[in-house]
Amino acid sequence: MAKLRKDEVGQGRAFYVFYCPGCGNCHSFEVPRWTFSGSMDKPTFTPSLLCNQSDPASRCHLFVTDGKIKYQPDCHHKFAGQTVDMVELEDLADGR
């Protein structure tokens, strides 16, 4: 099952959206700015994704490797420093 939703934006660019259980909402990364393995089931992308860098109260910093989210210790939420499985996006689709 897909852990990502692809939003094409043209000119060879696309956003991939995934659910972050730490923040309780979705994050996205952009290709080709990030390097993506192409697997929707067990995604890997590099480098890391850093959200809200300037605000420690909402900062989220993670790696995604082989379908797992590896949270870095500087995350604001309870998963900081932990690795969790990605969740399927089936229930989160917005109908677009």
Site for Zn ion contains 49 (CB under 5 A): no
Q: In this complex, which beta carbon is closest to Zn ion, that of residue 8 or of residue 92?
A: 92
Which amino acid is present at 43?
P
Map tokens 């060879």 to a residue.
12
Shortest Å, Cβ 96 to Zn ion: 22
Q: DSSP letter for 77, please.
A: S
Given the rule CB under 5 A, which of 2-10, 15-23, 33-41, 78-86 is the region that contacts Zn ion? 15-23
As a whole number of angstroms, the distance between CA 5 and CA 92 comes to 10
Where do contacts with Zn ion occur on this chain (CB under 5 A)?
A: 20, 22-23, 60
